[in-house]
């Protein structure tokens, strides 16, 4: 009788123990959810869709290499439809229903500004992939305790161009900008930083990105006696400017902003693209990088995965923006490896990241600088015979 | 200094204006036959451009063949729009029909995104990039082609509506569709024909402007709005008015940018538009609507 009881008790304890062990094992293997919301439809979808693909690619890579301290990452995807209101709804769904630990995205600056108050209030560490600075500018744009961003800030690109102009002993610049948020942000920094580099802004013109013709503005700038024209816009409008520039036979060099290095620019502008100079991430000139460039292996690995393993380049050829989702997730990964899944701890660790070598640059974050990229993250490229040429480091 | 820049402002305005004029023509065609505004007009422009691009870049057709095929395809889309949702709508009040065209516009845009992806595309310009210098202005041959096509289209439309039986019948339908039906004019068939014709004109507009503006699945919307404004300016329904309104809008934008400031160029253009409509609510070439009680 006693023997039987002993056997039963042993068996029961054994069963419970294995159950507990299995349960804990499952717990350690439970994925860490990251919400990724981009413009998968609407006007910004040509940027948002490849961003999503890259995000998935880097998550696969991290999981193959063992995940975050043994736990895999899981991406929960949302579509902002390029719409600020939708973006906020998606962010709420990801945080409240999907219980994600952190967020990456959205794609556009105005969608980023729409979700920022919510993520700041809720305390969700978020690495944005938006172009504009206001999300991490502070001041009248609100606090940015929880908000980070992977792409270079506008003034970094402006400084890169201005540094080169100073070297070339250029004195007078003419500015042509899109009259949207992105273009005006560029104008603000271009005018503010000019004196620091001994430059004088001699003409400012603007255009709507859907305008069919910009020759009126360009002919005004042509007659200002400027040494260079700097154009600040993204998308097909930049190619239209280049074509009109060639049509008017303007001799001074044309600079475009860091948003335009994209094979599409050459495709749309054709021969008129030749001669344009722009600041770009190293992705556009990966084959021309110096061997001692610390980013070279990272950039090459990225391109290998993108082209040879995932074959994304057929539909979405690599452009200067391609790496931002990679860097956004890598930054979160670095923070989570140290902090686990506590949101406040992740946020604190994000601010402490120093010297992370990413695809888009080397990140050194501080509590004030939630981006961490300097002018060294950009190179100047020039289009020669329809090819991207590294002009200057 | 300003006198030197003047010719270029003019060329820039004409370039943009000719595009608006072509799109405005399509609006007028459907409006004249049905008294509704077809908000899918911009989508016809986009479809025409992108199907041509597919034929030329993907299938390697010569550009003229691609253009002709694409005009036929978009004409068919216009016919289908009328034969399907417009004709079979249970409630045929103008507002319902306009909402149907808005729906069609969204549907065509969505299909465009699925078929051609989200990127912008372009076509090589006719006559290449051999810029012509006139006074101080530089003109791309494509602009001359567009202006020529607009002129020819306008003459053809005039001939069609004033000299042919079908054209006269369409005008009769637009004056009074019940009366036209009573004297034996096949009203429905003519309405269908106008949708087809406006599809064709939209497609031609798209093919012509793409080398200058590039085209993506969503470009039709903005072009459609500008064309709509041009049509209103000229007096909705009047063909010479549509063309004149298009050129005037383009020139106002360009001179507004040149003389005032490019920041306020749209504001200048639309202020003038408002002022004109304030003085002449029927538009520049519009007939005064007499409403019988």
| CA–CA dist A117, A111 (Å, integer) | 11
Which single residue is written with the structure tokens 């452009």?
A319
- Using the predicted structure, report yes or no on whether residue B92 has a pLDDT greater than 90: no
Question: Which chain A residues contact residue B121 at CB under 8 A?
Answer: 268
Q: Are A198 and A238 in contact (CB under 8 A)?
A: no
DSSP B228-280: HHHHHHH-TT-HHHHHHHHHHHHHHHHHIIIII-GGGHHHHHHHHHHHHHHH-
- Across the interface, do B117 and A179 touch by the CB < 8 Å criterion? no
| CA–CA dist B148, B126 (Å, integer) | 13
- Across the interface, do B9 and A219 touch by the CB < 8 Å criterion? yes
Of B4, B254, B266, the CB nearest to A208: B266
Which tokens go with B270?
A: 């639309």
Burial of A274 (0-12, 13-18, 19+ CB in 10 A): middle
Which tokens go with A276?
A: 């344009």
Pick the residue of B19, B118, B223 with the most A CBs within 10 A to test the interface with A by mutation: B118
Which tokens go with A116?
A: 């920022």
The conformation of residue B133, written as its DSSP 8-state character, comes to: E
Q: What percent of chain B has pLDDT over 70?
A: 97
Q: Are A108 and A149 in contact (CB under 8 A)?
A: no
Domain boundaries, chain B: 2-279
Architecture of the CATH domain B2-279: Orthogonal Bundle (1.10)
The conformation of residue B33, written as its DSSP 8-state character, comes to: H
Give the closest residue to A235 by CA, choosing from B222, B206, B213.
Answer: B213
pLDDT, mean of residues B15-42? 87
- Across the interface, do B120 and A211 touch by the CB < 8 Å criterion? no
- Across the interface, do B13 and A215 touch by the CB < 8 Å criterion? no
Of A46, A214, A236, the CB nearest to B214: A236
Q: What is the pLDDT of residue A151?
A: 93
Comparing B33 with B55, which gets the higher pLDDT? B55
Which tokens go with B57?
A: 């870049």
Euclidean distance between the first and the last CA atom of chain A, given in angstroms as a whole number: 85
The B-side interface with A (CB below 8 A) comprises: 1, 4-5, 8-9, 11-13, 15-16, 19, 113, 117-122, 124, 129, 131, 138, 140, 209, 212-214, 216, 218-219, 222-223, 253-254, 257-258, 262-263, 265-266
- Across the interface, do A215 and B122 touch by the CB < 8 Å criterion? no
Comparing B186 with A11, which gets the higher pLDDT? B186
Chain A nearest-CA distance from B138, in A, is 6
Q: What is the pLDDT of residue A258?
A: 92
- Across the interface, do A215 and B263 touch by the CB < 8 Å criterion? no
Q: What is the pLDDT of residue B292?
A: 53
Which tokens go with A297?
A: 């292996």
Find out if CATH 3.40.50.2300 is the number for domain A155-280+378-392: yes
* Residue A232, beta-bridge partner list: A177
Comparing B211 with A28, which gets the higher pLDDT? B211
Mean pLDDT, chain B, rounded, equals 85
- Across the interface, do A212 and B118 touch by the CB < 8 Å criterion? no
Chain A nearest-CA distance from B40, in A, is 18
Question: Which chain B residues contact residue A217 at CB under 8 A?
Answer: 257, 262
Name the residue of chain B whose CA is nearest to A242's CA: B212
Which tokens go with B224?
A: 């459609």
* Residue A387, beta-bridge partner list: A384
- Across the interface, do B138 and A264 touch by the CB < 8 Å criterion? no
Pick the residue of B262, B264, B268 with the most A CBs within 10 A to test the interface with A by mutation: B262
Residue B127 pLDDT level (bands cut at 50, 70, 90): confident
Euclidean distance between the first and the last CA atom of chain B, given in angstroms as a whole number: 58
C-beta atoms surrounding B58 within 10 Å: 10
C-beta atoms surrounding B293 within 10 Å: 2
User: Tens-of-pLDDT digits for all 393 residues of chain A?
Assistant: 566 666 666 666 666 655 555 555 444 578 999 999 999 887 778 788 899 999 999 999 999 998 998 899 999 999 998 889 999 999 999 999 999 999 998 988 889 999 999 999 999 999 999 888 888 988 888 899 999 999 999 999 999 999 999 999 999 999 999 988 788 889 999 999 999 999 999 999 999 888 888 888 998 898 898 999 999 998 888 999 999 998 888 999 999 999 889 898 998 898 899 999 999 999 999 999 999 999 999 999 999 999 999 999 888 899 998 999 999 999 999 999 999 899 999 999 999 999 999 999 999 999 999 999 999 999 999 999 999 999 988
pLDDT, mean of residues B118-139? 80
Name the residue of chain B whose CA is nearest to A272's CA: B129
The conformation of residue B121, written as its DSSP 8-state character, comes to: B
- Across the interface, do B213 and A219 touch by the CB < 8 Å criterion? no
Q: Are B203 and B75 in contact (CB under 8 A)?
A: yes
Q: What is the pLDDT of residue A9?
A: 66
Q: Are A32 and A73 in contact (CB under 8 A)?
A: yes
| CA–CA dist B90, A180 (Å, integer) | 43
Asked whether the domain spanning A155-280+378-392 has the same topology as the one spanning A31-152+299-360, the reply is: yes
- Across the interface, do A212 and B15 touch by the CB < 8 Å criterion? yes
| CA–CA dist B233, B221 (Å, integer) | 18
- Across the interface, do B214 and A43 touch by the CB < 8 Å criterion? no
Residue B45 pLDDT level (bands cut at 50, 70, 90): very high
Of A208, A213, A243, the CB nearest to B12: A213
| CA–CA dist A240, A222 (Å, integer) | 16
| CA–CA dist A298, A301 (Å, integer) | 5
- Across the interface, do A211 and B253 touch by the CB < 8 Å criterion? yes
Chain A nearest-CA distance from B221, in A, is 10
| CA–CA dist B123, B128 (Å, integer) | 11
Domain boundaries, chain A: 31-152+299-360, 155-280+378-392
Say which residues have a Cβ less than 8 Å from residue A93's Cβ, sequence separation at least 6: A78
* Residue A392, beta-bridge partner list: A380
C-beta atoms surrounding B178 within 10 Å: 8
- Across the interface, do B258 and A220 touch by the CB < 8 Å criterion? yes
| CA–CA dist B244, A123 (Å, integer) | 57
- Across the interface, do B1 and A246 touch by the CB < 8 Å criterion? no
pLDDT tens per residue, range B263-288: 787 787 778 878 888 888 777 777 66
Comparing B290 with A324, which gets the higher pLDDT? A324
Phi–psi pair at B174, nearest 5 degrees: -70, -30
* Residue B121, beta-bridge partner list: B215
CATH of domain A31-152+299-360: 3.40.50.2300
Chain B nearest-CA distance from A91, in A, is 23
Of A49, A217, A240, the CB nearest to B262: A217
Q: Are A392 and A380 in contact (CB under 8 A)?
A: yes
Pick the residue of B112, B119, B138, B224 with the most A CBs within 10 A to test the interface with A by mutation: B119
Mapping DSSP onto H, E and C, the string for chain A reads CHHHHHHHHHHHHHHHHHHHHHHHHHHHHCCEEEEEEECCCCCCHHHHHHHHHHHHHHHHHHHHCCCECCECEEEEEEECCCCHHHHHHHHHHHHHHCCCCEEECCCCHHHHHHHHHHHHHHCCCEEECCCCCHHHCCHHHCCCCCEEECCCCHHHHHHHHHHHHHHCCCCEEEEEEECCHHHHHHHHHHHHHHHHHCCEEEEEEEECCCCCCCHHHHHHHHCCCCCEEEEECCCHHHHHHHHHHHHCCCCCCEEECCCCCCHHHHHHHHHHHCCCEEEECHHHHHHHCCCCCCCHHHHHHHHHHHHHHCCHHHCCCCCCCCCHHHHHHHHHHHHHHHHCCCHHHHHHHHHCCEEEECCCCEEECCCCCCCCCCHHHCEEEEEECCEEEEEEC
Name the residue of chain A whose CA is nearest to B8's CA: A216
Comparing A61 with B85, which gets the higher pLDDT? A61
Question: Which chain A residues contact residue B120 at CB under 8 A?
Answer: 46, 235-236, 239, 264, 268
């Amino acid at each position: 009788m006693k023997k039987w009881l002993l056997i039963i008790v042993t068996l029961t304890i054994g069963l419970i123990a294995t159950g507990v062990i299995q349960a804990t094992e499952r717990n350690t293997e439970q994925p860490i959810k990251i919400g990724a919301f981009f413009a998968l439809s609407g006007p910004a979808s040509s940027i948002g869709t490849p961003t999503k693909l890259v995000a998935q690619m880097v998550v696969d890579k991290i999981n193959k290499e063992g995940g975050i301290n043994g736990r895999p990452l899981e991406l929960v995807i949302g579509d902002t439809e390029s719409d600020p209101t939708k973006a906020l709804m998606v962010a709420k769904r990801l945080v409240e229903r999907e219980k994600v630990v952190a967020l990456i995205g959205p794609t556009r600056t105005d969608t980023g500004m729409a979700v920022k108050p919510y993520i700041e209030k809720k305390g969700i560490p978020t690495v944005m992939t938006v172009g504009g600075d206001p999300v991490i500018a502070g001041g009248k744009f609100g606090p940015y305790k929880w908000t980070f961003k992977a792409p270079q800030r506008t003034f970094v690109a402006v400084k890169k161009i201005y540094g080169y102009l100073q070297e070339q002993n250029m004195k007078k610049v003419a500015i042509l900008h899109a009259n949207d948020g992105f273009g005006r942000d560029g104008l603000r920094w271009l005018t503010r930083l000019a004196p620091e580099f001994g430059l004088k802004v001699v003409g400012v013109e603007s255009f709507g990105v859907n305008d069919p013709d910009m020759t009126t503005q360009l002919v005004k700038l042509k007659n200002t006696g400027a040494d260079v024209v700097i154009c600040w816009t993204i998308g097909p409008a930049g190619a239209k400017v280049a074509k009109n520039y060639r049509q008017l036979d303007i001799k001074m060099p044309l600079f475009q902003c860091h948003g335009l290095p994209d094979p599409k620019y050459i495709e749309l502008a054709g021969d008129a693209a030749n001669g344009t100079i722009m600041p770009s991430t190293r992705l556009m000139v990966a084959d021309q990088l110096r061997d001692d460039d610390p980013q070279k292996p990272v950039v090459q690995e990225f391109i290998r995965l993108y082209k040879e393993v995932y074959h994304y380049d057929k539909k979405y050829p690599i452009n200067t923006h391609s790496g931002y989702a990679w860097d956004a997730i890598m930054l979160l990964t670095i923070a989570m490896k140290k902090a686990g899944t506590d949101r406040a701890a992740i946020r604190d660790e994000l601010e402490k990241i120093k010297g992370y070598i990413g695809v888009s640059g080397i990140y050194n974050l501080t509590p004030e600088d939630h981006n961490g990229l300097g002018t060294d993250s950009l190179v100047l490229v020039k289009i020669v015979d329809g090819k991207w040429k590294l002009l200057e480091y | 200094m300003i006198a030197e820049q003047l010719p270029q402002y003019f060329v820039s305005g004409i370039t943009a204006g000719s595009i608006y004029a072509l799109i405005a023509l399509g609006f007028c065609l459907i409006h004249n036959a049905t008294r509704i505004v077809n908000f899918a007009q911009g989508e016809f422009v986009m479809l025409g451009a992108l199907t041509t691009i597919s034929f030329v870049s993907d299938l390697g057709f010569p550009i003229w063949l691609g253009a002709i095929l694409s005009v036929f395809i978009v004409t068919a889309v216009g016919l289908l729009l009328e034969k399907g949702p417009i004709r079979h709508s249970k409630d045929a009040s103008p507002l319902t029909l306009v909402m149907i065209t808005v729906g069609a516009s969204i549907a065509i845009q969505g299909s465009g995104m699925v078929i051609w992806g989200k990127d912008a595309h372009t076509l090589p310009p006719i006559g290449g990039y051999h810029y012509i210098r006139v006074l101080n202005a530089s003109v791309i041959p494509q602009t001359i082609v567009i202006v020529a096509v607009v002129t020819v289209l306008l003459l053809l439309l005039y001939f069609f509506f004033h000299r042919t039986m079908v054209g006269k019948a369409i005008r009769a339908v637009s004056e009074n569709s019940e009366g036209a039906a009573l004297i034996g004019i096949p009203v429905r068939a003519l309405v269908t024909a106008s949708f087809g014709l406006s599809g064709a004109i939209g497609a031609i507009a798209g093919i012509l402007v793409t080398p200058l503006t590039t085209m993506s699945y969503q470009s039709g919307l903005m072009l459609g709005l500008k064309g709509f404004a041009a049509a209103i300016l000229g007096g909705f329904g009047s063909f010479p008015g549509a063309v004149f309104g298009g050129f005037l809008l383009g020139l106002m934008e360009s001179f507004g940018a040149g003389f005032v400031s490019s920041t306020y160029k749209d504001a200048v253009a639309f202020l003038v538009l408002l002022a004109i409509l304030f003085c002449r609510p029927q538009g520049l070439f519009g007939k005064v609507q007499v409403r019988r009680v």
